[in-house]
């Protein structure tokens, strides 16, 4: 359930735009969907082509100065790269979601904006198979180098029997 934003910043009270969401829609236009739940953090679903532009907007214009988390989600029909951004001096958090198809799981890396994304993106790459274009060192961080012959372990398609007994858990 989400609440509707007023049609324009002029109709909003100053407290209604603490996340800078109106400016984002003006800047990026199509390819952006904003959901503001009555309880919880706002979620911005954004096309991958506009992800870096949106991240720059949140960092440079809205003061989201640290990256909390980058993760991957398997929705069953596509993957999502999910970014949580925060402010060091305020409790504001905004969540950015970018859908990517299984057959083209590419998303721009946000490490040029937040160096802290480095290991998060590597983990998402390793476990979900999302490829972060422009990442400075996109390589495995948790799995064996030989894992390439198996499905990514956090995808819904992954099943332990697919390993054919090559690895054991003790």
**Model confidence band, residue 16 (pLDDT cutoffs 50, 70, 90):** low
Q: Is 79 exposed, middle or buried (0-12, 13-18, 19+ CB in 10 A)?
A: buried
pLDDT > 90: percent of the chain:
56
CA 8 to each of CA 17, 23, 100, 118: distance values in angstroms, whole numbers, following the listed order: 10, 10, 30, 36
Asked which of 85-94, 133-142, 152-161 is least confident by mean pLDDT, the reply is: 152-161
Task: Give the pLDDT confidence score for residue 33 in this predicted structure.
Answer: 86
pLDDT tens digit sequence for 56-95: 999 998 899 999 999 999 999 999 999 999 999 988 899 9
pTM equals: 0.82
* Per-position b or e across 127-150, b if 16+ CB within 10 A of its CB: bbbbbbeebeebeebeeeeebeeb
Strand order in the sheet with 43-46: 32-35, 43-46, 90-100, 79-87, 66-74
Task: Give the pLDDT confidence score for residue 55 in this predicted structure.
Answer: 95
Q: For the residues of 75-89, what is the DSSP string, one character each? A: -SSSEEEEEEEEETT
Task: Give the pLDDT confidence score for residue 161 in this predicted structure.
Answer: 62
- Mean pLDDT, the chain, integer: 84
The class of domain 9-163 in CATH terms is: alpha beta
Element at 127 (helix H, strand E): helix 117-128
Give dist(CA 139, CA 143) in Å, integer.
10
CA 12 to each of CA 1, 19, 57: distance values in angstroms, whole numbers, following the listed order: 20, 13, 20
Q: Which residues contact 63 (CB under 8 A, 6 or more apart)?
A: 87, 89, 90
Token digits of residue 134:
């422009």
């Amino acid at each position: 359930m989400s609440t509707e934003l007023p049609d324009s910043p002029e109709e909003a009270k100053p407290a209604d735009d603490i996340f800078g969401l109106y400016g984002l829609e003006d800047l990026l236009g199509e390819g952006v969907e904003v959901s503001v739940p009555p309880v919880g953090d706002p979620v911005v679903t954004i096309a991958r082509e506009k992800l870096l532009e949106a991240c720059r907007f949140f960092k440079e214009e809205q003061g989201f100065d640290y990256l909390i988390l980058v993760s991957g989600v398997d929705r069953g029909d596509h993957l999502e790269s999910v970014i949580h951004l925060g402010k060091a001096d305020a409790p504001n958090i905004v969540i950015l979601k970018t859908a990517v198809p299984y057959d083209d799981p590419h998303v721009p890396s946000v490490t040029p904006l937040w160096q802290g994304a480095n290991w998060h993106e590597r983990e998402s790459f390793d476990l979900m198979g999302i490829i972060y274009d422009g990442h400075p060192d996109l390589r495995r961080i948790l799995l064996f180098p030989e894992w390439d012959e198996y499905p990514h372990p956090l995808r819904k398609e992954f099943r332990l029997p697919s390993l054919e007994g090559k690895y054991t858990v003790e």
